[in-house]
Amino acid sequence: MIHANAMDVVTDDVFVALPYLSRHADVFLKVEGLNPAGSIKLKTAVGLVEDAERRGVLSVGVPLIESSSGNLGVALSCICAAKGYDFTCVVDPNTSESSIAHMRALGTEVVVVRKPDTNGGYLNTRIDYIREQLRRRPEMVWLNQYANPANPAAHHDRTARSLLDGLQHIDHLFVGAGSTGTFVGCATYLREHSPHTRIIAVDSVGSVTFGTASGPRRIPGLGASRRPELCRPALAHEVVHVAERDAIRECRRIARNTGLLVGGSTGSVLAAITAYEDRFRGGRPRVAAISPDLGDRYLRTVYDDNWVRAHFGEIGTEDPLVATAER
């Protein structure tokens, strides 16, 4: 297939069955990491940029600034390189080195803020930095993924539609929440088109998005140290908070059971599904889960035993962090 534009190559039709994960449910993973920018955030980035162009606030010569845990930054870098926009991305020490290198290779200026928030994350610091830049350079445009309705709209119109078209029937959807664009967009669409589907929002322990206590987090993608303006908690039937340790265990389990190397936030979503196993008994539900990215960006963190030991304590062969294949 020949594409006029690399950014048109959105892969919205890849689903993998995960029979190892549940005895009582049929689980399907929507794999988003095959997009050109390597994650689900390509759709967010296209949605944000096209909306800003339509509103007339963005054109060549107008500098763009955005805060990202990594993936939106890579996706915006791809689009800005293709369209000739000047892009500055504000990230933090949890952003993977490979995402930063990827952005720089595409010509983006990457700023890494280092001061942690009082809430254990870096989002407030990233946003304070952007506000300061906007004061100094008022010509800059901030698309603000945390408050911009074009973010959930992209997932309402594309991610959720392709999810329901691909799987036809979904009893439970497990979806991670960072900016909450994927969660809000998919939950809104499914409540319109598949009202029986139970929406389970997956967050990290230590995130304040759904009103729980703040704490340190190391895996980029899920969670926030300030509630994104977009978040509509009432759209979730339930919210599950997953410890990063459990997310790492599930990343390693899916790798060894299926050969699929997924990112840390996918591990959180899988851990949330395993916590539901008893509740799946009896009805054989069809369960959908969204995998935002693949694991190659996390080889030096989630999949590195030394990094895991340094941050989560010693792991022995008895420890669930050292996964063994199950069939």
**C-alpha span between 67 and 53 (Å, rounded):** 19
Residue 75 pairs in a beta bridge with: none
**C-alpha span between 43 and 154 (Å, rounded):** 6
- By CB under 6 A, is residue 71 in contact with ligand PMP? yes
- Provide, for the chain, the percentages of residues in helix, strand and coil under a 3-state DSSP scheme, each rounded to the nearest 5: 40, 15, 45
Residue 191 gets which letter from DSSP? H
CB of 297 to ligand PMP, least distance (A): 8
Binding-residue total with ligand PMP (CB under 6 A): 18
- Residues 172 and 75 sit within 8 Å (Cβ to Cβ): no
- By CB under 6 A, is residue 38 in contact with ligand PMP? no
H helical segments located in the chain: 41-55, 71-83, 97-105, 123-136, 150-154, 161-167, 181-193, 244-258, 264-275, 277-280, 305-312
- By CB under 6 A, is residue 204 in contact with ligand PMP? no
HSE-up of residue 91 (Cα within 13 Å, Cβ side): 28
244-258 and 264-275 helices, crossing angle to 10° = 90
Kindly write out the interface string for residues 219-258 of this chain, putting x where it contacts ligand PMP by CB under 6 A and - elsewhere: --xx------------------------------------
Identified binder of ligand PMP from the candidate list 36, 73, 178, 267, rule CB under 6 A: 178
Which of 247, 280 has the CB closer to ligand PMP? 247
Identified binder of ligand PMP from the candidate list 95, 108, 179, 225, rule CB under 6 A: 179
Q: Read out DSSP for 260-271? A: --B-HHHHHHHH
Kindly state the tokens that stand for 153: 């709209």
| Footprint (CB under 6 A) of ligand PMP, residues 138-177 | 176-177
**C-alpha span between 76 and 99 (Å, rounded):** 12
Which of 26, 203 has the CB closer to ligand PMP? 203
Identified binder of ligand PMP from the candidate list 249, 265, 287, 295, rule CB under 6 A: 265
Which of 273, 280 has the CB closer to ligand PMP? 273
| Footprint (CB under 6 A) of ligand PMP, residues 100-139 | none
CB of 267 to ligand PMP, least distance (A): 10
Identified binder of ligand PMP from the candidate list 47, 121, 263, 285, rule CB under 6 A: 263
**C-alpha span between 34 and 307 (Å, rounded):** 26
Which of 78, 280 has the CB closer to ligand PMP? 78
Kindly write out the interface string for residues 283-312 of this chain, putting x where it contacts ligand PMP by CB under 6 A and - elsewhere: ---------xx-------------------
Using CB under 6 A, list all residues that contact ligand PMP: 39, 41, 69, 71, 176-183, 221-222, 263, 265, 292-293
